[in-house]
Amino acid sequence: MTQQAAALDPAEIELFRDNVRKFLEKEVAPFYDQWEKDEIFPRTLWNKMGENGFLCVDVPEEYGGIGAPFRLSTVIIEEISRMGFGALASNVSVHSDIVTPYILHLGNEAQKQYWLPKLVTGEAVGAIGMTEPGAGSDLQGMKTRAVLEGDSYVINGQKTFITNGQHCDVIVLACKTDPNAGAKGITLFTVDMKTPGASRGRNLEKMGHHAADTSELFFQDVKVGQDQVLGGLGKGFINLMNELPRERLILAVGAIAACEGMLEWTIKYVTERKAFGTTVSAFQNTRFKLAELKAHTDVNRAYVNQCNDKYDRGELSTVEASTAKLMTTELQGKVADECLQLFGGYGYMKEYPISRAYCDARIQRIYGGTSEIMKEIIARSILGR
């Protein structure tokens, strides 16, 4: 589900990209290492991003946005990812490219009027609650229940691995409203995290994306009105499926930009680093490795750009988005591994961004749908069930 987007002049895109890059250099780069140690970035960063127009850029003007094409949203994630800020890319993409489109596309007018302007400015941070301790890719296995009592739903359950979990103000929450109806028994709700009974667990320690707040969330007798149903009763599963192409596309956008960033760092390093009386870039192994990675990256970049254009036209299919997500995230892992190897022992040191990029890359093949799920979707499209 997309909005038709007017074409942007390439010069406009590059001007916007330059503004994003300057913001990141000033407001993020000097502090990012400390945020990684703190295992969270400050809540005020959301407000700064909103003030500079870097959140939810394709939200229509009537809801406080600028109504920009999706292409500008991808520029933000590209630049964050290219600079090696994987945790920030993850959090911003969840906020701007997952939660906000759910509310924009599925919300009633009251939900849109209340939440969208706040998401645009950073006054509110968004999260999505699907994964549970016993239910990851198998959404039908979720245990969180929403039971209608009078005029309200009472929600009980637990979610885990929630990006923006510590900072979020609103969560798009998937619940079982009819436990006997399978996929048709899942409903989405917008839940204000200030609602009594909604609470945050610990900020989870992770292999990578240390600066991202990834949390457990708990819901105990949380009462929400029927007007907080998002997209229709029992339609949660199909709505999730309809919105997944954008989620998987934005993950592909971040993955390919991360590959480009890692290659830039590595090319710079091998042309300066000397071994056996010459630069590392003079060795055939180095040259062939980089040639191979550059070729793979350029081909994947072309496909991602094609998918971006299709999304803007409302033509991107689930299979195409899954293909982009599968290939770019698998490539990201390969590029991270091969580039770290070219850095030698220094690549294993935290002071070099390739070390962080290596750890950050691993989650890309898991969240937003595992590589195995992507393969199954593609296989079904060509072979059937």
Cα–Cα distance measured from residue 168 to residue 258, given in angstroms and rounded to the nearest whole number: 25
Q: Name the DSSP class of 161.
A: E
Q: Looking at 247, 260, 320, 330, which residue is catalytic? A: 247
Q: What is the 3-state secondary structure (H, E, C) of 190-206?
A: EEECCCCCEEEEEECCC
Is 247 a known active-site residue?
yes
Annotate 341-374 with DSSP letters as a single string. HHHGGGGGSTTSHHHHHHHHHGGGGTTTS-HHHH
Max CA distance (Å), the chain: 80
Report how far apart, in Å, the C-alpha atoms of 131 and of each of 24, 30, 60, 138, 349 are: 30, 33, 30, 9, 33
User: At 368, which amino acid appears?
Assistant: G
Cα–Cα distance measured from residue 6 to residue 8, given in angstroms and rounded to the nearest whole number: 6
Does residue 198 contact residue 222 with C-beta atoms inside 8 Å? Answer: yes
Cα–Cα distance measured from residue 100 to residue 95, given in angstroms and rounded to the nearest whole number: 6
Which residues are tagged catalytic? Answer: 247
